[in-house]
Amino acid sequence: MFGYPPAGWYPDGATVGVVRWFDGSAWTEHVMPEPLHSRQRARALVSTVPSTAEEPTG
C-alpha cells in the first residue's frame, strides 16, 4: 500500500465542485458535491495570497 494516499474524499479532477471517494487503493464510482466548508477554506487561502501583478496606473 506504499505510495497511496489514505482513504477519503478528494477533488474529482474532472468536475469542479465534486469530490470522489478513494478507498485507499483505487478510485470508486462514489461522488458528491464538494462540501461548502472546503470551498470557503480554499477561497480564504486564495484571498490571503498577495498579488504579484502590477496595478495599472491612471
pLDDT tens profile 10-56? 999 999 999 999 999 999 999 999 998 765 555 555 555 555 555 55
pLDDT of residue 21: 97
Q: What is the pTM of this model?
A: 0.57
β-bridge partners, 11: 19
27-33 and 18-22 beta bridge pairing: antiparallel
Is 29 within the bounds of a domain?
A: yes
Tell me if residue 18 falls in helix, strand or coil: strand
Torsions phi, psi for 8 (to 5 deg): 165, 180
Is 37 within the bounds of a domain?
A: yes
Residue 9 has pLDDT above 80, yes or no: yes
- Total domain count for the chain? 1
In which domain, by residue range, is 21 found?
8-47
Is 13 within the bounds of a domain?
A: yes
* Confidence band of 3 (pLDDT split at 50, 70, 90): confident
Is 57 within the bounds of a domain?
A: no
Cα gap 34→57, rounded to integer Å:
39
**Grid cell listed for 8:** 477519503
Question: CA angle at residue 52 from 50 to 54, to 5 degrees?
Answer: 120
pLDDT of residue 28: 97
